[in-house]
Structure 1
Amino acid sequence: MENLSLELAYALDTFYFLMCTVLVMWMAAGFAMLEAGLVRAKNTVEILNKNALLYGIACIVYLLVGYNVMYPANPVSSFIPGLDFMLGADNSAESVLAGGDDAPYYSGMADFIFQAVFAAATMSIVSGAVAERMRLWPFLTFAIFMVAFIYPVEGYWKWGGGFLDQLGFQDFAGSVVVHMAGAAAALAAVILVGPRKGRYGKQGEVNAIPGANLPMATLGMFILWMGWFGFNGGSELKIANVDEANAVAKIFVNTNAAAAAGMVAAALLARALFGKTDLTMTINGALAGLVAITAEPLAPTAGLATVIGAIGGLVVVGSVLMLDKLKLDDPVGAISVHGSAGIWGIFAVLLSNPDATFAGQLIGTVATFVWMFAASFVVLLIIKKTMGLRVSDEEEMEGMDVYECGMTAYPEFTKDK
């Protein structure tokens, strides 16, 4: 009976892990719909191509090398991971049935695929920030380096047992390890690529460039919201006992509460500032609430989770306005959603997690940002000098769909020339 109990628990935890993986993979569709809705019609096919291909490339590269960099069998030090390729064998029945604290409680392959979709999500953050002007294949070239080494190194520092984990840095599901990390890489790309033509006037004015399909963007938000239950819930890693089942349920409640509060708070602030309820702020408010609670979705009460999410919604509105003042053009607000809200979320951990310290959270945030920004900047600068990053003025004016992909998303609305 004991062996049967161990096998059932292993099977249930593995199945739960895999279903959460499916939800996180579904976030790829959310990113694609969100970004396609927030760009102009002439750039729709290209941004969809970016999202589809980056997912495929991320999965291949993470399988080949990224996973073993992030979770090395023989790390060089707490700062430098080891280097290995491909995946080893999965857990044996004997190791599972041995029981005890060291016995595996879910499949190693389930762990890999869960981490792989996290890696793809991190790279997806970059695609929206450089939409409408960064060329497709230089972007995908950067994705190889991002998923093979840049992201896995800082992931190792926390989740692979590196120096940030040893320091006590607390980040449950990745407000900094995933979201701010992706935003730091996106910031480097935005600086090197530059703003879209016509976005900023000579007198410092900010010219609106509306997206082509806000219903699609709203759908993307809800897909991401749904996927986040797997993102945060799956990070609990197990469910096959009463305490873990209750923990997962609490994570779902807190994740939902934070998203709802972030959405409403951002909408209210936008209404107060602009006199109108800006749908893009509503969308990004929900996503900012989700990012903010990701650092610690288990410890807070539902009430505190609501407050954390609401503040995240306020932060994202202020951040979007600040980036525009700095002339950092981010068409979808990715840097604000994932970066600014991620920073807020990592320090919000101090409100409920007694194991977190201000120094630990600060060091973890700064170290992750510096590494992700600097490494990304160097790689992107090399790509810029060798391949080029930005489309020509003519290509930008005509749209990237025709020049990069040879087709348009809405051909029935394209006038014959």
Structure 2
Amino acid sequence: MIIVQRGGKMKRWGLLVLIVLCLIPQSVWAAESVEQVAKSTDYLWIIISAILVIFMQPGFALLEAGSTRMKNAGHVAGKTILAFGLCSLVFWAVGFGVTFGEGNAFAGLSGFLLNGINEVGGVPVELFFLFQLAFAGVSLAVAFGGFAERAKLSVYLIFSILFIALIYPVIGHWIWGGGWLAEHGKQDFAGSTVVHLTGATAAFIATMMLKPRLGKFNANGKPNLIPGHNQVYTVLGVFVLWVGWFGFNAGSTLTVGTGLFSHVAITTQLATAAAAVFALLASWIYSGKADITSMLNGTLAGLVAITASCAFVEIWAAVLIGAIAGVLTYFTAIYLERKGIDDPIYAASVHGVAGVWGTLANGFFASPRLVETVGVGREGLIYGGGFHQLGVQAIGVLACFVYVAVATYIVIASLKATIGIRVSEEEEILGLDISEHGVYGYPEHLQESFLDPFHVPSSQLKNSV
């Protein structure tokens, strides 16, 4: 009897052990499945965001082509493809390694051709590369705004290579790749400094060295209006950029699990909306006309400004940052033009001034709870953080501006001394579509006129024909 009971107990214990053994692998498998689903969701979000940012390239093509004259439209739009193609190859070969490879506080010295790097921040290197490539392409597109309507196509080609190999990735390493500014807690969530100030500084130096377009300024220095040929294109371009920017900012969370991406999305949207409205109001009050170009520039300025702070500031602060960016961009564009600077796409004011303001804004408005969530830097001045973070942001802005300005000057000065950087007067008057590519973007324009007498003084036309 006792033996039977013991046998029954042994059977019952054996059955219990068997059930437990069957359940443990299932629970472990379930946990692994949840983790894998979470990773897969994050990876899907990153690649969608990368595609959104890459789709900003046609936004730039529309914006820049619409903002320039008909005789240059095909050239301005077409070089976008060339620039992004070169950017992709050079960033794969060199730029990604300089940005994210192991090295020193100044630059990465490994990871070229993606060798030796399996993942970055838990993201497979191929996926992370694609996402970061999209950012590099945007910075290059911003830089080329300063070249518009007068630079040789060969200059675009050479400058693309050097900018993506030696200029942009160094700034990226300083802030995103573990460089010296990262060590000091520089806050630049999605690139007001890394992407936009870098591109705008290069554009500013380029436009200064290329000199103004023919007919832009009178002998007394007074500027003439050279309107873009298609304002509908510029509106569509800005809308494409606005949509793509959600990949730019919200995509920089690299995850959907924490919910931070939704906060980033709403701060991006409201800052941009405020900038658009306040830029239009500024033009309306100051000039008496509600200028559409100013509104579009303000919209982009809001996007640029909130890019650094979208994950660090509360919603109310985002609205304020955007509104200030819109007004700043309007008045600085007027100021630069009055100083004799011909910036056809307004890169210096839209991406430069707004990039500086957006970067510095963290020093004022970075929220303690969001700083803790992101894990970079300290809270801003209004939250009792003192001037520490503002100082770090200011040092970052100054250092990046100086490096990019000097490097860009060296590159363009070298090109100017060798192959030349500007097309001839005859080529500029005819338009870069026909002089560089042999055909107009609008072929019917060829039948109308080879010249542009409305914007080019007759004396220049006589000397050029």
Distance across 2 between alignment mates of 1:22 and 1:416: 39
Mapped pair 1:110 → 2:123: no
- What is the Cα deviation at residue 91 of structure 1? 4.8
| Residue 393 (str. 1) matches residue 425 (str. 2) | yes
2:35 maps to: 6
Q: Deviations over 1:41-73 (max 9, x none)?
A: 000111112211101100111011110010113
CA distance in structure 2 between the aligned counterparts of 1:327 and 1:338, rounded to whole angstroms: 19
Task: Return the letter of the residue paired with 1:148.
Answer: A
Pick aligned residue for 1:86 from 113, 116, 119: 113
1:212 CA drift (Å)? 0.4
SS at match of 2:253: coil
What's the offset of the Cα at 1:162? 0.3
Q: Which residue of 1 aligns with 2:391?
A: 359
Residues 163-208 of structure 1: CA distance to partner in whole angstroms, max 9, x if unpaired? Answer: 0001111111111111011111111111111110111112221100
User: Which one of 276, 287, 302 corresponds to residue 274 of structure 1?
Assistant: 287
Measured after TM superposition, the shift of residue 261 of structure 1 is: 0.7
After superposition, where does 1:307-346 map in structure 2 within 5 Å?
307-346=320-359
Deviations 1:264-316 (A, max 9, x none): 11101011111111111010000000001001102322222111101000010
Counterpart code for 1:225: W
Q: Where do residues 31-46 of structure 1 align in structure 2 (5 Å cutoff)? A: 31-46=60-75
- Residue type of the alignment partner of 1:79: F
Q: 1:13 touches 1:105 (CA, 8 Å); kept in 2?
A: no
Shift of 1:83: 4.5
Within 5 Å, give how 1:73-222 maps onto structure 2: 73=102, 75=103, 77-88=104-115, 91=118, 105-222=122-239
User: 1:10·1:105 contact (CA, 8 Å) conserved in 2?
Assistant: no
Say if 2:71 and 2:445, in contact at 8 Å, map to a contact too: no
Q: TM-score by structure 2 length?
A: 0.84
Question: CA–CA distance in 2 between the matches of 1:299 and 1:190?
Answer: 33
The answer (yes or no) to whether the contact 1:21–1:114 under 8 Å persists in 2 is yes
Aligned partner letter, 1:86: L
Q: What CA distance in whole angstroms lies between the structure 1 residues aligned with 2:292 and 2:347? A: 15
Structure 2 residue aligned with 1:412? 444
> Take 2:448 and 2:330, find their aligned partners in 1: how far apart are those partners?
40
Matching residue of 1:100: none
Counterpart of 1:231 in structure 2 is 248
Q: How far apart are the structure 2 equivalents of 1:104 and 1:362?
A: 27
Mapped to 2, the partners of 1:128 and 1:373 lie a distance apart of: 15
Task: Name the CA distance, whole Å, in 2 between partners of 1:304 and 1:323.
Answer: 28
The superposition leaves residues 359-393 of structure 1 with CA deviations (integer Å, 9 ceiling, x where unpaired) of 10111001100011100110111111111110101
Structure 1 equivalent of residue 52 of structure 2: 23
What is the identity, as a one-letter code, of the residue corresponding to 2:301? A
Could you say which residue in structure 1 is the equivalent of 2:9?
none
Contact 1:229 1:252 in 2 (8 A): yes
- Supply the AA of the counterpart residue of 1:82: L
Size of the aligned set, in residue pairs, is: 401
1:90: how far off?
A: 7.2
1:311 counterpart letter in structure 2:
I
C-alpha distance in 1 between matches for 2:69 and 2:42 = 43
Q: Alpha-carbon deviation of 1:256?
A: 0.7
- Pair 1:61–1:159, CA change in 2 (3 A): same
Cα distance in 1 for partners of 2:161, 2:171 equals 16
| Structure 1 pair 91–66 and aligned structure 2 pair: CA distance change class (3 A) | closer
Does 2:276 align with 1:258?
no
Is 1:248 aligned with 2:261?
A: yes
Partner of residue 287 from structure 1, selected from 296, 300, 303 = 300
- Structure 1 residue 411, shift from structure 2 partner: 1.6
Root-mean-square deviation over aligned CA pairs: 1.5
**Distance in 1 separating the partners of 2:445 and 2:187:** 50
Q: Which amino acid aligns with 1:396?
A: E
1:96 maps to which residue? none
Other-structure match for 1:66: 95
Q: Provide the C-alpha distance between the structure 2 equivalents of 1:325 and 1:377, rounded to a whole number of angstroms.
A: 23
Q: 1:312 and 1:90 mapped to 2: Cα distance?
A: 38
Instruction: Please give the alpha-carbon distance, in whole angstroms, between the structure 2 residues aligned to 1:134 and 1:392.
Output: 10
Amino acid across the alignment from 1:228: W
Contact 2:75 2:441 in 1 (8 A): no
Contact 1:350 1:358 survives alignment (8 Å): yes
Structure 2: distance between partners of 1:385 and 1:165: 37
Gaps of 5+ in 2: 1-29, 369-377, 380-388, 450-465
Q: Which amino acid aligns with 2:285?
A: A
**Mean alpha-carbon deviation: is it higher for 3-12 or for 369-378?**
3-12
> How far has the Cα of 1:107 moved from its partner?
2.3
Identity of aligned residues (%): 39
What amino acid does structure 2 have at the position aligned with 1:378?
I
* Equivalent residues of 1:250, 1:298 under 8 A apart: yes
TM-aligned CA deviation for residue 2 of structure 1 = 2.0
Whether contact under 8 Å (1:129, 1:334) holds in the other structure is yes
The higher-RCO structure (CA 8 Å, 6+ apart) is 1
Partner of 1:98: none
